Amino acid sequence: MSNNERNIILIGFRGTLKTTISKLLGNKLKRSVYSTDKIIEEQERKNISSIVEKNGWEYFRDVESKVLSETLGKKNIILDCGGGIILRKENCELIQNSNSFIVLLEANASDIERRISQDMNRVRFNPDISLHQEIESEIQKRKSFYHSVAQAIFNTSTLKKTEIVEMIARQFLQ
């Protein structure tokens, strides 16, 4: 499959700038950008926190898996995946078998906390601990899943957004 048909998939924990980077990358490479979270919110006509509150995480993950499968049928796109998409083995397999360039965006817990702390639509996983502790705990739980599917890894705490976009484009077009 040529690069003209391959997709670029961005994975990573919430607050690692996947949405921002995907939009910048879409502009640079002249590609359509999709977000699993945005598609879910449009289909369900509610934000993610409302979906999870009303129907639970399992329901949300079921919808997320369906959206991932449908969206990966498109060609020549950039896909910004929700942070927990890698928690299901079948999603990891779908991503790995999609003949896409898979990019992991990482950031340190303090930067993630600063980026997401003002967003009231973010669902807490464990409200009994501090947001910082929750972030560190969730990152540790997910790290091996992220790394098992990623083909390139960039840290948004240490690199500028424009640098990351340039490096992704360069690696993808090689």
> What is residue 155's predicted lDDT score, i.e. its pLDDT?
97
> What is residue 122's predicted lDDT score, i.e. its pLDDT?
73
| Residue 109, C-beta contacts closer than 8 angstroms, at least 6 positions apart | 132, 135, 136, 139
SS3 content of the chain, % helix, strand, coil (to 5): 55, 15, 30
Name the pairing type of β-strands 8-11 and 77-80: parallel
> What is residue 2's predicted lDDT score, i.e. its pLDDT?
59
> What is residue 119's predicted lDDT score, i.e. its pLDDT?
74
**Exposed (0-12), middle (13-18) or buried (19+): which is 170, by Cβ within 10 Å?**
exposed
77, amino acid identity: I
> What is residue 99's predicted lDDT score, i.e. its pLDDT?
87
DSSP state of 87: G
> What is residue 120's predicted lDDT score, i.e. its pLDDT?
64
Tens-of-pLDDT digits for all 174 residues of the chain? 556 679 999 999 999 999 999 999 999 999 999 999 999 999 999 999 999 999 999 999 999 999 999 999 999 999 999 999 999 999 999 999 998 999 999 999 999 999 988 776 677 788 788 889 999 999 999 999 999 999 999 999 999 999 999 999 999 988
> What is residue 118's predicted lDDT score, i.e. its pLDDT?
76
